[in-house]
């Protein structure tokens, strides 16, 4: 049964091509707020159906004035997908749309989208439709406009087309005036009513190769197939949280349906394009795009100015939005001149920005172009208008997802960077008590956490180990954490014990005007006697692993968190540490949510005595990343100075490349003073490589620490960049060789050192290595002054 069967139509639409079989209605249909009445809906339906069929248009729409007369809104859109979804839902009366221009000018308005390559170089996206619109007005009443869409290759609107559209619009205006006279509300609904009008799709042009095809002979099948891919893209992008997710979704919903060979997503920064992700056979595409300047005339650079480009290849027929007669190497061909391509491959360059034709809400400014989606194809091909319309909408969805993920990543980097800046850059050196620390942000949290740690040397032989956790994952948590860490360090430097330190910190937190609470663990270790005084403020007790592998907690009164009122005084408890004891202070992000298993992992076989390896292992074994985690390890080596390692440090200011030579001299002098001159050449070479890498890639100050134990020498290089160095293998390709220029020096480190690794440390990382002392080189060890 057709949509017209059984329907009663107003007399004004009865002509020789649609003879009536029923009387016209004599009353209004029911109306509710925001929903047109049944009679108004029937009138509009008949109008858009006649306009679409008689003008051979893909889509027809009726725009009606809002009750306040301030704007036009789509009341009914009839046609075939995807063209019917490209019309705007609302527009101001002074907007450049043909519907608004027809009503303002009281005449037929025609609008053809400009050639995407024409000047000016920035403007609207390629819109593969031409538009004609007529006003709906009669006897002093202005109702809106009637608009039709055709594909751009359907030819211009003739005078006969304009007369026919005007005739349909005039009759619709008369009927609307009659309804208005009987008291019907002539106003658009909250959303336009969409009705299918199939059979108006134009036949494929000669040589046109539509990739996405429907069932032959079934009107609307191809358009619905395209919309399915668009709907799947929308749904899957809503769940995408990383750029890898976006690329995977684009591969499934864009590359596969369009049968593209490769895809690359790019963004613009510092005047150049940078590839965010790619899939398929994309090596040539990535080489063409990555690092390309935006001021050039390449297709990707032109697309960044807001206009989509469709390159059909040398065998394709020219069409709007495509660049004919552009061979390999031409900036507009889309084919690199030295890539070995024959210029016959089609390509599409789509700006990652939403289309202005589907923006219904007023925005503060024009939507920015965040990047370009580039597609390449096997051989030449054409781009039918419907495919170009869907690709444009897909690019808008991809652009929104890319922008959202980039903003989220930038915010995460900012918050994590702020938190790391509040942590100690380098732990204080303490004789007979080497330390190391780790901090790992929560994976799910988008804000900074409140975990912190610190090592503070006190006026006597004591060393204060501190770890704490401010509740929440907000910027306020990080700000309170920074204030608490500063106050704890100040009180410890004054010589206060753990319990007194917590008392003063609690009073300070109460005066800060925050509702946040904080837990804290403070351990004051007397390195001369091995006495450890422990005070807790609602924090897990520290763990002590003895030299035989036994793990026990250092018990102390739990007390209450900092910031609570009406509490009892904080109390502490003393313990005596035997030499070789490893202390572990940690926040609750290191253990399971329902059980604390850090002790079991600390005492597990193979945990090792090296603090750096032990810290990495404890943090790597942490299940999940629901919360940020802080870990502080310390090993008490006893009061026997003869067994203590010899230690020396050297500081290098950022961007001081001349300091590399001074660093080599520092290592040489230390090893010679310690009677280890045989290791000098290898360690100097390693020092030169690691310090140079830190200065160039981290761009921060660099700290060197050299330590000699009884059987080995340890070198540590610290900087503020948290990204670990990665050795890069040699490559036979130009792109691979360019990447391999950075990271080859690490192969020297791997070849010369007995063992090496990298560990996150405070606000950056530590690259450390160890070399065995040959023979009995430790026999003659002069005392370090």
Distance of alpha carbon 645 from alpha carbon 638, whole angstroms: 11
The CATH number of the domain holding residue 703 is 3.30.565.10
Query: Residue 672 half-sphere exposure, CB side, CA atoms within 13 Å?
Result: 8
Query: How many helices (H) does the chain have, and how many strands (E)?
Result: 17, 27
Mean pLDDT computed over 51-65: 93
DSSP reduced 3-state for 642: helix
Cβ atoms of 78 and 45 within 8 Å: the answer is yes
Distance of alpha carbon 213 from alpha carbon 457, whole angstroms: 75
Residue 557 placed within a domain: yes
Of the pLDDT bands very low, low, confident and very high (cuts 50, 70, 90), residue 228 is: confident
The 10s digit of each residue's pLDDT in 195-204 is 988 766 656 5
- Token readout for 17 is 């091509």
DSSP reduced 3-state for 268: strand
Cβ atoms of 464 and 495 within 8 Å: the answer is no
Query: Residue 164 half-sphere exposure, CB side, CA atoms within 13 Å?
Result: 15
Contacts of 241 (CB under 8 A, 6+ apart): 405, 408
Query: In the predicted model, what is the mean pLDDT of the chain?
Result: 79
**Closest Cα to residue 610, out of 711, 537, 684, 540?**
711
Distance of alpha carbon 69 from alpha carbon 335, whole angstroms: 51
DSSP reduced 3-state for 704: strand
**CA 155 centroid distance within chain:** 43
Cβ atoms of 244 and 277 within 8 Å: the answer is yes
Strand 272-280 with 262-269, pairing: antiparallel
Distance of alpha carbon 61 from alpha carbon 146, whole angstroms: 6
Distance of alpha carbon 262 from alpha carbon 260, whole angstroms: 6
The confidence score (pLDDT) of residue 421 equals 81
Residue 120, pLDDT > 60, answer no
Distance of alpha carbon 193 from alpha carbon 186, whole angstroms: 14
Residue 319 placed within a domain: yes
Residue 209 placed within a domain: no
- Comparing 31-35, 264-268, 296-300, 571-575, which segment has the lowest mean pLDDT? 31-35
Distance of alpha carbon 577 from alpha carbon 591, whole angstroms: 24
Distance of alpha carbon 79 from alpha carbon 85, whole angstroms: 9
Residue 420 placed within a domain: no
Residues 399, 473: one domain?
Answer: no
Residues 135, 179: one domain?
Answer: yes
Residue 372, pLDDT > 90, answer yes
**Closest Cα to residue 129, out of 392, 399, 398, 400?**
392
- Token readout for 711 is 């059987």
Centre a 10 Å sphere on the Cβ of residue 226 and count the other Cβ atoms it contains: 25
Residues 395, 465: one domain?
Answer: no
The CATH number of the domain holding residue 495 is 3.60.40.10
Residues 176, 244: one domain?
Answer: no
More confident residue, 762 or 153: 153
In this prediction, what percent of the chain has a pLDDT beyond 90? 31
Residue 216 placed within a domain: no
Residues 465, 542: one domain?
Answer: yes
Name the strand (E) or helix (H) holding 587: none
Cα dist from 396 to 203, 311, 362, whole Å: 28, 19, 17
Domain boundary among 603, 618, 641: 641
Domain boundary among 625, 641, 657: 641
- Token readout for 339 is 């890539």
Mean pLDDT computed over 396-416: 86
The 10s digit of each residue's pLDDT in 245-276 is 999 999 999 998 888 999 999 999 888 999 99
Residues 440, 498: one domain?
Answer: yes
Of the pLDDT bands very low, low, confident and very high (cuts 50, 70, 90), residue 560 is: very high
The confidence score (pLDDT) of residue 209 equals 52
The confidence score (pLDDT) of residue 699 equals 74
Three state DSSP letters for 195-260: EECCCCCCCCCCCCCCCCCCCCCCCCHHHHHHHHHHHHHHHHHHCCCCHHHHHHHHHHHHHHHHCC
Cβ atoms of 652 and 627 within 8 Å: the answer is no
The confidence score (pLDDT) of residue 763 equals 65
Residues 191, 300: one domain?
Answer: no
Distance of alpha carbon 296 from alpha carbon 327, whole angstroms: 17
Cβ atoms of 531 and 575 within 8 Å: the answer is yes
Residues 727, 599: one domain?
Answer: no
Residues 340, 461: one domain?
Answer: no
Strand 71-79 with 193-196, pairing: parallel
Cβ atoms of 439 and 425 within 8 Å: the answer is no
Domain boundary among 621, 641, 661: 641
Residues 390, 436: one domain?
Answer: no
Question: Highest-confidence range of 42-46, 86-90, 702-706, 762-766, by mean pLDDT?
Answer: 42-46
DSSP reduced 3-state for 633: strand
Residues 655, 633: one domain?
Answer: no
Residue 203 placed within a domain: no
Question: Highest-confidence range of 133-137, 331-335, 476-480, 659-663, by mean pLDDT?
Answer: 133-137
More confident residue, 738 or 670: 670
Residue 734, pLDDT > 60, answer no
More confident residue, 216 or 197: 197
Residue 777 placed within a domain: yes
| Segments forming the whole domain that contains residue 473 | 426-641
Distance of alpha carbon 419 from alpha carbon 479, whole angstroms: 9
- Token readout for 669 is 């002098």
- Token readout for 228 is 């399915």
Q: What is the secondary structure of 44-95 as a DSSP string?
A: HHHHHHHHHHHTT-SEEEEEEE-TTSSEEEEEEEEE-TTGGGSS-SEEETTS
In total, how many domains does the chain have?
Answer: 4
Residues 478, 519: one domain?
Answer: yes
Residue 256 placed within a domain: yes
**Phi and psi of 83, rounded to 5°?**
-60, -35
**Closest Cα to residue 47, out of 22, 24, 77?**
77
pTM assigned to the model: 0.68
């Amino acid at each position: 049964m057709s949509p017209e069967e059984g329907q009663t139509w107003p007399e004004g639409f009865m002509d020789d091509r649609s003879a009536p079989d029923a009387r016209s209605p004599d009353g209004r249909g029911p109306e509710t707020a925001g929903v047109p009445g049944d009679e108004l809906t029937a009138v509009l339906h008949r109008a858009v159906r006649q306009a679409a069929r008689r003008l051979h248009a893909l889509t027809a729409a009726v725009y009606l004035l809002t009750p306040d007369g301030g704007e036009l809104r789509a009341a009914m859109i009839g046609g075939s997908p995807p063209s019917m979804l490209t019309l705007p839902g609302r527009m101001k009366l002074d907007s450049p749309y043909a519907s608004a221009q027809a009503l303002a000018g009281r005449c037929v308005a025609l609008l053809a989208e400009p050639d995407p390559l024409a000047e000016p170089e920035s403007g609207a996206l390629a819109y593969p439709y031409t538009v004609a619109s007529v006003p709906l007005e009669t006897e002093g009443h202005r109702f809106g406009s009637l608009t039709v869409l055709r594909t751009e290759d359907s030819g211009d609107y003739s005078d006969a087309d304009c007369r026919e559209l005007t005739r349909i619009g005039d009759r619709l205006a008369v009927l609307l005036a009659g309804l208005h006279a009987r008291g019907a509300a002539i106003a658009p609904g909250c959303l336009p009513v969409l009705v299918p009008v199939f059979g108006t799709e134009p036949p494929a042009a000669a040589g046109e190769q539509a990739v996405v095809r429907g069932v032959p002979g079934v009107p609307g099948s191809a358009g619905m197939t395209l919309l399915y891919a668009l709907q799947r893209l929308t749904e899957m992008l809503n769940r995408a949280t990383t750029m890898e997710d976006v690329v995977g979704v684009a591969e499934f919903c864009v590359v596969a349906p369009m049968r593209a060979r490769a895809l690359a997503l790019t963004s613009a920064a510092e005047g150049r394009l940078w590839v965010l992700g790619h899939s398929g056979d994309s090596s040539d595409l990535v080489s063409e795009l990555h690092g390309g300047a935006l001021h050039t005339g390449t297709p990707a650079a032109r697309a960044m100015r807001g206009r989509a480009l469709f390159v059909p290849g040398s065998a394709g027929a020219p069409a709007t939005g495509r660049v004919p007669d552009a061979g390999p190497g031409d900036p507009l061909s889309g084919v690199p001149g030295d890539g070995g391509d024959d210029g016959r491959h089609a390509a599409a360059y789509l700006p990652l920005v939403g289309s202005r034709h589907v923006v219904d809400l007023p925005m503060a400014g024009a939507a920015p172009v965040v990047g370009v989606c580039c597609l390449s194809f096997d051989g030449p091909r054409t781009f039918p208008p419907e495919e170009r319309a869907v690709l444009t909408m897909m690019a808008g969805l991809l652009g929104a997802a890319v922008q959202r993920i980039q903003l989220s990543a930038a915010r995460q980097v900012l918050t994590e960077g702020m938190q790391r800046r509040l942590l100690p850059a380098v732990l204080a050196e303490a004789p007979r008590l080497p330390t190391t620390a780790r901090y790992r942000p929560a994976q799910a949290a988008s804000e900074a956490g409140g975990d912190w740690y610190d090592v503070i040397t006190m006026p006597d032989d004591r060393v204060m180990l501190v770890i704490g956790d401010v509740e929440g994952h907000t910027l306020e948590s990080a700000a309170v954490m920074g204030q608490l860490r500063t106050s704890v360090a100040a009180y410890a430097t004054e010589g206060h014990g753990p319990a007194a330190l917590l008392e003063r910190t609690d009073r300070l937190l109460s005066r800060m005007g925050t509702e946040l609470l904080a837990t804290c663990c403070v351990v004051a270790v007397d390195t001369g006697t091995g006495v450890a005084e422990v005070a807790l403020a609602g924090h897990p007790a520290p763990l002590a692993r003895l030299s035989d592998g036994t793990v026990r907690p250092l018990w102390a009164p739990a007390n209450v968190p900092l910031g609570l009122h009406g509490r009892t005084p904080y109390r502490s408890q003393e313990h005596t540490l035997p030499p070789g004891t490893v202390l572990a202070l940690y926040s609750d992000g290191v253990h399971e949510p329902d059980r604390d298993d850090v002790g079991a992992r600390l005492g597990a076989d193979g945990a090792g005595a090296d603090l750096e390896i032990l810290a990495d292992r404890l943090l790597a074994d942490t299940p999940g990343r629901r919360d940020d985690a802080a870990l502080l390890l310390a090993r008490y080596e006893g009061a026997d100075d003869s067994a203590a390692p010899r230690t020396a440090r050297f500081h290098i200011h950022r961007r001081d490349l001349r300091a590399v030579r001074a660093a080599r001299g520092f290592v040489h002098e230390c090893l010679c003073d310690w009677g280890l001159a045989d290791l000098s050449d290898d360690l100097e070479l390693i020092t030169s490589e690691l310090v140079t890498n830190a200065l160039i890639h981290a761009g921060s100050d660099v700290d060197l620490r050299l330590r000699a134990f009884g059987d080995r020498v340890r070198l540590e290089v610290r900087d503020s960049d948290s990204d670990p160095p990665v050795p890069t293998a040699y490559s036979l390709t130009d792109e691979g060789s360019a990447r391999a220029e950075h990271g080859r020096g690490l192969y020297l480190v791997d070849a010369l050192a007995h063992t090496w690794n990298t560990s996150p440390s405070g606000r950056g990382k530590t690259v450390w290595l160890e070399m065995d002392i040959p023979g009995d080189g430790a026999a003659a060890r002069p005392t370090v002054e």
